[in-house]
Amino acid sequence: MKITDIKVTTVSANFEWVLVKVLTDQDELTGIGEAFTGPGVKELILAESEHGLGKDRGIWSLRHLLIGEDPTNVERLARKVYTALSGIIGTAGSIVQVISGVETALWDIAGKALDAPIYKLLGGKYRDKIRIYADCHAGESEDPESWARRAKEVKEKGFTAMKFDVDKPSHRAVGYNRCLTNPEIKTMAGQVEAVRQAIGDDIDLAVDCHWKYNTNDAIRLANALEPYNLLWLEDPVPPENVDAMKKVTASTNTPICTGENLYTKHGFRRLIETQAVDIISPDVSKVGGLSESKKIADMADLYYMAVAPHNIASPIGTVAACHVCASIPNFLALEYHAIDIPWWGKLIKQEQSLISEGYIEVPEKPGIGIELDEEEVAKHLKQGERLF
């Protein structure tokens, strides 16, 4: 079996969902994946560009690197692209996002070719259904009552865990100094308190800061939120400074989580080795794909850290992540960021709702185990896009 082409289609929703299709020389056998969105992602797959001098002059193109290859050599092909293109594009960012989308599609092909769901190729499953947490964003206003209302709505949908963004409205920290005032911490704690009262103690609650604050103010915030028994406080400080993150983690009983902005095993190595957080949140569609995510989870498991993957994807990226979540021991919860997109689940051919009572059942069909409804996808394309 050989790869014959790679195609891309972008869906426009609350985020752009970059869907990657890998075609093979076996008529019916194609693979689907999703790459985390961003400038240059689609271009990296499709573009061709000359570089080098004299007889070493060559064309770099992800398609050229993969066409003619056996798609079931998933890990080698991901490394081939990373090795060939990192000199021009770097070792993080769009190149790794592209690899993530293509790697997922290769797993889909490998699973279909071997008549096995992807999770079996990753070593089998620890669980039959994947716990999903709903990203709720924030209340309609600063008023804690509006946060409580939002929390109750989400709880009624059956979710057992949810997350709110306390750094919203985003005017906070626009002074660029990363400082939090006492009134701001009080407002945030009031909102979290209102949510906790609305959902009760049995529903898990996480809180996101989007790397806005300095170390000391992040510690003050984490301590102020301790009474509400958070599942985690996410990105209280920027993730680049592992020492600062470790200091926050060591200074509070609130569990600390980071990872959505990190790429590959290398991006996680020091964070994990120094036990700078309690929970890591790699994004499977961004960090390098399914294999890379599983390896990162294994590294974290050495230090008894849990994994709660970040996810803003369509059903394709979400279910791909479910195969990883099924195959690792230290899974905690997987993000769902499309609670306000009513057609999210319609992008796949499936009668029953993909998420039921806050869980996704791990698919048993070969490959990724879900099929794109291309007629529905065509209704939501980004302006100027064509379907594959």
Q: Which is nearer to Mg ion, 119 or 268 (CB)?
A: 268
Residue with tokens 């996680």: 268
- Cβ neighbors of 387 (< 8 A, separation 6 or more) are 9, 374, 377, 378, 381
C-beta nearest to Mg ion: residue: 208
* Smallest distance, Mg ion to C-beta of residue 257, A: 8
Residue with tokens 């794109």: 372
SS (H, E, C) 220-234: HHHHHCHHHCCCEEE
Pick from 48, 21, 42: nearest CA to 97: 42
Q: Which is nearer to Mg ion, 119 or 232 (CB)?
A: 232
Q: Which is nearer to Mg ion, 239 or 289 (CB)?
A: 239
Q: Which is nearer to Mg ion, 336 or 388 (CB)?
A: 336
Q: Which amino acid, residue 384?
A: G
Q: Which is nearer to Mg ion, 208 or 217 (CB)?
A: 208
Structure tokens at 168: 């919203």
SS3 content of the chain, % helix, strand, coil (to 5): 40, 20, 40
Q: Which is nearer to Mg ion, 13 or 22 (CB)?
A: 13
* Smallest distance, Mg ion to C-beta of residue 260, A: 5
* Smallest distance, Mg ion to C-beta of residue 60, A: 32
Cα separations in angstroms, 322 against 33, 289, 378: 13, 12, 25
Q: Which positions lie near Mg ion, rule CB under 5 A?
A: 208, 234
Q: Could you give phi then psi for residue 123, rounded to 5 degrees?
A: 115, 5
* Smallest distance, Mg ion to C-beta of residue 160, A: 19
* Smallest distance, Mg ion to C-beta of residue 258, A: 8
Burial of residue 252 (CB within 10 Å: 0-12, 13-18, 19+) is: buried
* Smallest distance, Mg ion to C-beta of residue 298, A: 23
